[in-house]
Amino acid sequence: MSSRGGPARIPLLLDERREALRQAGYRLAGNQRRTWREQLLLRLAIGAASRRLVVSYPRVDLVQGRARVPSLYALDVLRGAEGRLPDLDELGRRAEAGGAAVVGWPAPEEPEDAVDESEFDLALLRPYLGAGAPVAQRRGRARFLLESNEHLKRALEARGRRWRRPWFPVDGLVDASPEALEALVAQRIGARSYSPTALQHYAACPYRFFLQAVLRLYPRDELVQLEQLDPMTRGSIFHEIQFRLFGALKEADLLPVTADNLEAVFERLDEVLDSSERDYREQLAPPIERVWKAEFEGLRADLRGWLRQVADEGGQWMPIHAELSFGLRRSGDRDPHSCPEPAEVLDIARLRGSIDLVEEDADGRLRVTDHKTGRAVHAGGGLVIGGGKVLQPVLYSLAAERVLEREVVSGRLFYCTQRGDYSTVSVPLDERSRGAARRLLLKVDEALESGFLPAAPAKDACRYCDYRRVCGPYEELRVKRKDRTRLEELNALRSER
C-alpha cells in the first residue's frame, strides 16, 4: 500500500454550491464525503492483509529530485497500530531506517525488506557492484536476469554493448543494414533539402541529426496555460514584428534607418507593436494582464535598442528583402522575391529556409543577416562555421547568391536584444568560408551514404537536447569509452573555427 503526498487539492466548487447541485440531481461529493471515502478505502486495504501489512511512501521525487511529504494517513496507521500519534520527523526517521532507498538506487539494503521484485533484484545485486567485491564472487550473480525474461535480456544486452569500446547498432545508426542504406539514398543532401538549422545538429550529435532531420521525430506538443512568454514564442513574435515593421518603413519611405529619421521610425514601431499586441492577445489569451503588458514593453525596449544600433551604421546598408525564403511554400509573411524551389549550393546540397534580412550597399553588394533574440554565445573574431554549429551566416549567404543571382560579401548573426548585448558576428563569404561549408556538407553526405550516425554528443550537447529521453542521461560519459578512430573526422569538424 502506497501513501502519496503532494500539494493540497482545492475543489473548483465549494461545498454549499455542490450541495445545491446535488439537490438538483447532480452527484457531486463534498469534502466530508470524500474524506469518509478515503478513510473507508484505507480500512479496506488494511483489512485485506492476512499476514503482514507494509506501508510505504516515496520520500524522494526521482524525476525532480525533491523531497516528498507523506500523506497524513501514514500517521493514522501508526496511531492505530501503536496507540500514539508520532510527528512527521519521527515518521521520516523510521522510514529511512526501514527502507534505506536512495536516489539512483531505489531499494533497501536487505533483499528481505523489498516490497516488490525490482527492489529484491536491486538489493540482491548491490553488494556485488562495488569495487571491493572479488571478481570470482561477482561473476554470474546477475545471470538470472537474462534467464527470467527475453525482453529484459535483450534490453540488458543492448545496454551492455553501449558501454563497450566497439560500436554496435544499438549506439544510434551504426553499421546500417542494406535496407537502411537503400532508404538513406533519398535522404542525402543532394536528393532532398535541409535547413541550416537542421544541418547544425550533425556537429552537436549525429544521432540527433538523424532523429530530427531524417526521421523527423519531434517531442509531443503539450498544451499548457501561458503565464509568461517562453523564449521560442517571444522570438517568434519578435521576428514577426520585425517583418511587419520592414513593410511599414518601406511604405513610408523611411529606409534606411538613420539618426535623422529615427524618431519617425519609432512612431511606426509603436503602431506595429500595438497592432501585433492586439493580434497575439487573441491567439494567446494571457491570464495575467500585468505580465502580458510587461512582456510587450520588454519587446518594445529591445526593438528600440535594435533600431538605434541600425541607425548607428549611418545608412550605408539599405534593406531590400525581409524574410526571403527558398524551398518553402509562398505565403503572405515572406518576401515577394522568395523562391519556392530549394537553393542548390556548391553543387552539393539543396537548402531551404528563410533569411531574416538582405541589405545592399552603394556598390550593389549584398549582406545577409540572421537575427537572434537570445544570449550571444558565438563571440570573437575569425569565426566561420563554429565547429559546424554556426551555419546560418555562410549557408544563407550561399543561398542568397543562388536565389538573387548577385554577389554576397558576408553573412552575420545580429543578437538584437538587450540580453544579446546587441552584438554581431560577421562572416565574410570568401574562399575560406566556402571551403569550410563544402567540407561540412560533404561530411554530412558521407555519413548518410555510409549509414554511420552514432549517438556521439559534443560537450554539453545533451543538456537541452529534445531526445535525451531516447538516449538516456549518460551519453557523454559513454561515448568516451568508444573507439575514437571512427570519430576522427567528426572531431576534426568540431575543431574548425
**How many Cβ atoms sit within 10 Å of the Cβ of residue 23?**
8
Residue 57 sits at φ, ψ, to 5 deg, of: -150, 150
Longest dimension (CA), the chain: 93
Res 2: pLDDT: 42
Res 5: pLDDT: 41
Query: Could you give the CA distance from residue 231 to residue 222 in angstroms, rounded to a whole number?
Result: 16
Res 497: pLDDT: 84
Res 310: pLDDT: 96
Q: 338 in helix, strand or coil?
A: coil
> Is the Cβ–Cβ distance between 252 and 267 less than 8 Å?
no
In sequence order, what are the beta bridge partners of 345? Answer: 349
Res 9: pLDDT: 47
Burial 281-319 (b: 16+ CB within 10 A, else e): eeeeebeeeeebeebbeebbebbbbbbebbbeeeeebeb
Which residues are within 8 A (CB) of 351 and not within 5 positions of it... i.e. 6 or more apart? 193, 194, 195, 196, 326, 327, 342, 343, 344, 345, 395, 398, 399
SS (H, E, C) 392-414: HHHHHHHHHHHHHCCCEEEEEEE
The DSSP bridge pattern shows strands 353-360 and 349-351 to be unpaired
Of 51, 127, 165, whose CA–CA distance to 485 is shortest? 165
Query: Could you give the CA distance from residue 389 to residue 374 in angstroms, rounded to a whole number?
Result: 16
Query: Could you give the CA distance from residue 330 to residue 346 in angstroms, rounded to a whole number?
Result: 25
**How many Cβ atoms sit within 10 Å of the Cβ of residue 424?**
15
Query: Could you give the CA distance from residue 434 to residue 154 in angstroms, rounded to a whole number?
Result: 46
Query: Could you give the CA distance from residue 176 to residue 214 in angstroms, rounded to a whole number?
Result: 14
Q: In which residue are the cell numbers 500523506 written?
A: 71
Res 256: pLDDT: 96
Listed in sequence order, the DSSP H helices in 100-215 are 117-125, 135-138, 143-148, 150-162, 178-184, 196-204, 206-209
User: Backbone dihedral region of 373: left (phi > 0), alpha (psi from -120 to 50 degrees) or beta?
Assistant: alpha
In tens, the pLDDT along 359-417 reads 999 999 999 999 999 888 765 668 999 999 999 999 999 999 999 999 999 999 999 99
Residue 26 sits at φ, ψ, to 5 deg, of: -90, 140
Res 286: pLDDT: 64
Q: What cell does 327 get?
A: 524551398
Q: What is the DSSP string of 406-451?
A: S-EEEEEEEE-STTTTT-EEEEE-SHHHHHHHHHHHHHHHHHHHHT
Q: Is 197 exposed, middle or buried (0-12, 13-18, 19+ CB in 10 A)?
A: middle
In tens, the pLDDT along 451-475 reads 999 999 999 999 989 999 899 989 9
* pLDDT under 50: residue ranges of the chain: 1-10, 63, 65, 103
The DSSP bridge pattern shows strands 193-194 and 349-351 to be parallel
